[in-house]
Amino acid sequence: MSWLSQREIEQRARATLEFYEAHAEAFWEGTRDHDVSQNLDALLGELRGAPPYHVLDLGCGPGRDLIALSARGCRAVGVEGAAAFVRMARESSGCEVWRQSFLELDLPAGGFDGVFANASLFHVPAQELPRVLSELRDCLTPGGVLFSSNPHGENQAGWSEGRYAVFHDWKAWRSFCLGAGFEEVRHYYRPPGRPRWRQPWLASLWRRPGGAEEESS
């Protein structure tokens, strides 16, 4: 992947958000019934301590997963860069939703038990990913968990239907997450029950070091 200038990074982020702004209603209609319960259950199953869990939905879109997290008893907060999605997510979920670009995150230190990054981090240019992942690590409580699901590939980057995207393989994605200070929990491919060539999504879980179990050991 080639190195991008700051201007190129900003242009790609702007164009991606403009795409979502222009297609907000169609995106909501096309994704509102997608079943990501496997991913939600994977994250919630790894969280420590007593609920209710405080979970950040990174790139929450129109609010589908905020609704699902709330239904599971979580105190869910969304982060979204597209203004149309922010409005839709607040209306559909009733949750707090912050308008922030992934490249300009402003998150509370240690504020969340979990981060749910479902189909969102693949929009981050590879050279910006170490910083973004470090910011997500820092917003977790010690022992907190990051869940991510991204379309995987052979580490190519480019445009996908008007959006900038990076398609990491497992080796590269693992290297980024370990480099940001996370501990590996597990990974799997989606949808379940298909051969690998028909599983376009790579899901993975990562833990911020620390927490009661580590302190007592």
pLDDT at 213: 53
Long-range contacts of 36-41 (CB under 8 A, 24+ apart): 36/65, 36/68, 36/118, 36/149, 37/68, 38/190, 38/192, 38/203, 39/116, 39/118, 39/147, 39/149, 39/190, 39/203, 40/65, 40/68, 40/69, 40/72, 40/116
pLDDT of residue 217: 42
> Which amino acid appears at position 141 of this protein?
T
Strand segments (E) across 107-155 = 112-118, 140-151
Six token digits for residue 141: 């409580």
Residues 184-196: pLDDT tens digits? 999 999 988 898 8
What pLDDT, on the 0 to 100 scale, is given for residue 216? 43
Residue 211 is predicted with a pLDDT of: 79
The span from the CA of 94 to the CA of 116, in Å, is 18
Q: Determine the pLDDT at residue 215.
A: 43
pLDDT at 100: 97
pLDDT, tens digit, 9 for 90 and up, residues 112-161: 999 999 999 999 999 999 999 999 999 999 999 999 999 999 999 999 98
Q: pLDDT tens digits, the chain, 217 residues: what are they?
A: 678 999 999 999 999 999 999 999 999 999 999 999 999 999 999 999 999 999 999 999 999 999 999 999 999 999 999 999 999 999 999 999 999 999 999 999 999 999 999 999 999 999 999 999 999 999 999 999 999 999 999 999 999 989 999 999 999 999 999 999 999 999 999 988 898 889 999 999 999 999 765 444 4
- What is the distance, to the nearest Å, from the Cα of residue 30 to the centroid of all Cα atoms in its chain? 19
Q: What domains are there in the chain, each with its CATH number? A: 6-216 (3.40.50.150)
Q: What are the two backbone dihedrals, phi and then psi, of residue 125, each rounded to the nearest 5 degrees?
A: -55, 145
Contacts of 131 (CB under 8 A, 6+ apart): none
The pLDDT value given to residue 197: 87
Residue 52: cis peptide before it, omega within 30 degrees of 0: yes
Residues 6 or more apart whose CB falls under 8 angstroms from that of 47 comprise: 53, 113, 114, 144, 145
CB–CB of 38/59 below 8 Å?
A: no
